[in-house]
Amino acid sequence: MTLPALHNTSVLYRRILSQFPQDISLAFAYGSGVFKQHGTSQGQMEKNMLDFVFAVDDPVTWHTMNLLQNRKHYSILKLLGPTVISSIQNDHGASVYYNTLVPVDGRIIKYGVISTDSLIDDLIHWKTMYVAGRLHKPVRLLVQSESGKLRAALVANLKSAVTASFLMLPESFTEEDLFLQIAGLSYAGDFRMVIGEDKSKVANIVKDNIQHFRILYSNILRDCPQVVYKPHQGKLEVDKSPEGQFTQLMALPRTLQQRITKLVDPPGKNRDVEEILLQVAQDPDCGTVVQQGISSIVKSSSITQSIKGIATAGLWKTVSYSSKKLMKMWKGGRRKPSVSQMS
C-alpha cells in the first residue's frame, strides 16, 4: 500500500525548496499557512508562516551545504559548525533542528531538519511523536524518495493513529469524531496547549479539512478488520470486546506499549508486556490509560524540543515567535467555537 499523498507542486513550494540542498528523502509543508483552518480567511492564511520538515539521510553533509547556501538562517550556533549542529539535532529534544522566522521568496518560513533514520524510528515506534504526530494530519507532501522502508513507516504511523484512537472512542462514532481524536493525539500532554496555542486548534484543523483526512485514512479504515466502516453515512463501529481491545493494544507502537506498562504495572513486579496489556484490555478505563500513555510521550518531547528551540532559533526569534503564538491563542480564546458546534 502506498501512502495517499496530497501532492502540491505549486510554483511557490518549488521555488522555496530550490533554495535548499536537494539531498532530501522526505519534505512536507504543514500548518495554518498550508491548510485553511476554521475561522481563518484566505488573506490571513497567506500571511501565516509556512512550516516545513525536511528528512535527510546525512545531516552533517546537509547542514554543511546549507550553511554555505543559507548561513543567515542559523542562530549563533552556526559558529559551532555542521557536526555540532547535527549532534544538537540528533541527540536532544525530538531529534529535529529548526530554523525559524526565515524570509524566503516573499514568505516567512520555519523548517525542521530530521535524519531519515530518526524519522522512521518515530513513525514506527512513536519515540517522541513529534514529527509522527504532524504526519497524522494532512500535509503537503513535496518530496518523497523511493525508499520502501520510509513508505512502509509512513503507512504504519497512520495505522497506529487509527488504532490508538479506536481505543479512546466509544463503540460507535462518526468520521468527524475519529478525525478529531486523531488530530488531537499529538497535542495530548503538550504543554504549549496550556500556554501558547489556540485552545480550539484541533477543532479548527479538522472542521475545514474533513475531505483531506478522508483521503489519508479511508483505505486503512476499509481494510481494518476491527471496524465496520460506513463511508456513505460517515459512521463507524469498532470492536470494544476485551479480545478486540487486546488486539488493538498489541498493535500499538512499542514506546506507547512501554508507557502504558509503566502506568499500570507497579515497580518491582516485572510482568511481561503482553500480560499487562491483557489486563488493560479488560479495564473499563482502557481508553484513559492509552490517553495517559500518549500524553506522557508528547509531554516530554514537547518540553525538551521547545527548550532546544531557544538555542536553535536564538533569543530574539524565540521571543518574536512566542509572542505571535500567544496572540493567536488570545484571539482563539475570544472566538471559542466549541466542538459541539461542528457537527
Per-residue model confidence as pLDDT tens digits over 276-306: 999 999 999 999 999 999 999 999 878 877 7
Q: What is the pLDDT of residue 21?
A: 97
Mean of pLDDT values over 30-39: 83
Q: What is the pLDDT of residue 331?
A: 55
Number of domains in the chain: 1
Q: What is the pLDDT of residue 199?
A: 53
Query: Could you tell me if residue 179 is inside a domain?
Result: yes
Query: Could you tell me if residue 312 is inside a domain?
Result: no
CA 61 to each of CA 23, 81, 84, 147, 309: distance values in angstroms, whole numbers, following the listed order: 9, 11, 12, 20, 21
Is a pLDDT exceeding 50 seen at residue 326?
Answer: no
Query: Could you tell me if residue 141 is inside a domain?
Result: yes
Using CA atoms of 82, 310, 202, 10 in order, give the dihedral in degrees to the nearest 10.
Answer: -40
113: three-class secondary structure by DSSP: strand
Mean pLDDT across the chain: 87
Q: Which long-range contacts does 210-215 make (Cβ < 8 Å, 24+ apart)?
A: 210/175, 210/176, 210/179, 212/6, 212/35, 212/138, 213/137, 213/138, 213/175, 213/179, 213/182, 213/183, 214/175, 215/4, 215/6, 215/138
Q: What is the pLDDT of residue 192?
A: 55
Q: What is the DSSP letter of 191?
A: G
> What is the C-alpha separation between 176 and 162, in angstroms, rounded?
13
Residue appearing with cell numbers 543567515: 72
Query: Could you tell me if residue 300 is inside a domain?
Result: no
Residue appearing with cell numbers 486523531: 182
Query: Could you tell me if residue 106 is inside a domain?
Result: yes
> What is the C-alpha separation between 172 and 182, in angstroms, rounded?
16
Query: Could you tell me if residue 322 is inside a domain?
Result: no
Q: What is the pTM of this model?
A: 0.86
Q: What is the pLDDT of residue 8?
A: 44
Query: Could you tell me if residue 130 is inside a domain?
Result: yes
Query: Could you tell me if residue 103 is inside a domain?
Result: yes
Per-residue model confidence as pLDDT tens digits over 249-281: 999 999 999 999 999 987 767 788 999 999 999
Domain that holds residue 46: 9-237
Per-residue model confidence as pLDDT tens digits over 134-182: 999 999 999 999 999 999 999 999 999 999 999 999 999 999 999 999 9
